[in-house]
Amino acid sequence: MSDAKVRLYVDQPLGAGQAVALTADQAHYLFAVMRLGAGDLVLLFNGRDGEWRAEVAASAKRGGTLACLAQTAPLQPPPDLWLLFAPIKKARTDFIVEKAVEMGAARILPVQTRFTNAERLRQDKLHAHAIEAAEQCGATFVPEVTDLQQLDRLLATWPADRRLMWGDEGLAGQTASLPDLPRGQPWAILIGPEGGFAETEKTRLRALPQIVPVSLGPRILRADTAAVAALTLWQLRYGDWA
Ligand code: SAM
């Protein structure tokens, strides 16, 4: 157990005795919002070096320094699972990114499909959401959030060894089941937009050798619910929940 009140992502190396310089935003959060001062403890992670206990060495209005004391957790990357989803309204897209981090996706790929109807996508904001989610849920790894990509282009160079679990609303009502395969293999999940997939996209997906179409139960789920349901199903069957 740690007596640190705050868990913070920093984009700097972490290690025994390492000094970590704070940005103005981080200093504001730690010293003005959380009211920390010299000697107070903080948990740090950077997505590479695990989690470290650090203490406030110096505090100022627009900066400060933390000193790393000891590692509290090793780096624990999630399983090799990508989440591909067609962005929807901003709040729901933010929700999908947040939940993907909590549920243990290793990479998050927003995809443009025929019926994707999204406002402009801010990759930097989605990355910041991923960091916040990792800070909250105790993760030591922050999944990459890629720029919006065309689904058909992504499928054209799809890795031969990565299975693609496709939430196929055409299977709604059938049993939600996944093939009997060992854990530890590369996978991705694909969730479509509110308007579903176009016929041409469905044909393209069905022809992909790596495709694994799945039902997500008897009801048609909203895309954000479907993303969480698919991540749950996959994690239980192949992931790190067991
Ligand atoms: N308007 C679409 C339709 O009825 O064909 C529904 C799209 S749904 C809101 C958004 C996405 O969630 C779908 O493209 C699919 O990937 C996934 N989805 C929702 N419910 C599902 C279900 N019961 N089984 C499989 N996938 C589902």
So what's the pLDDT on residue 117?
A: 80
Residue 53 CA: distances (Å) to CA of 5, 18, 75 = 11, 11, 14
Give the per-residue pLDDT at 94: 96
Superfamily for the 81-238 domain: SPOUT methyltransferase, trefoil knot domain (3.40.1280.10)
Residues framing ligand 1 (Cβ under 6 A):
167-169, 171-172, 191-192, 194-197, 215-217, 219-223, 226
Distance 64 CA to ligand 1 centre (A): 48
The domain locations on the chain are 7-73, 81-238
- Closest ligand 1 atom number to CA of residue 190: 16
Residue in 7, 30, 10 with CA at minimum distance from that of residue 20: 10
Give the residues of the chain that fall short of pLDDT 50: 1
101 CA from centroid of ligand 1 (Å): 21
Distance from the CA of 168 to the center of ligand 1, in angstroms?
6
Summarised one tens digit per residue, pLDDT across range 92-126 is 999 999 999 999 999 999 999 999 987 679 999 99
- Residue 134: predicted pLDDT: 98
For the domain 7-73, what is the CATH superfamily, name and number?
Answer: Hypothetical PUA domain-like; domain 1 (2.40.240.20)
Rounded to the nearest angstrom, the distance between the alpha carbon of 227 and the centre of ligand 1 is 10
* Structure confidence at residue 1 (pLDDT): 42
CA angle (162 as vertex; 204, 99 as ends), nearest 5:
95
Other CB atoms within 10 A of residue 16 CB:
10
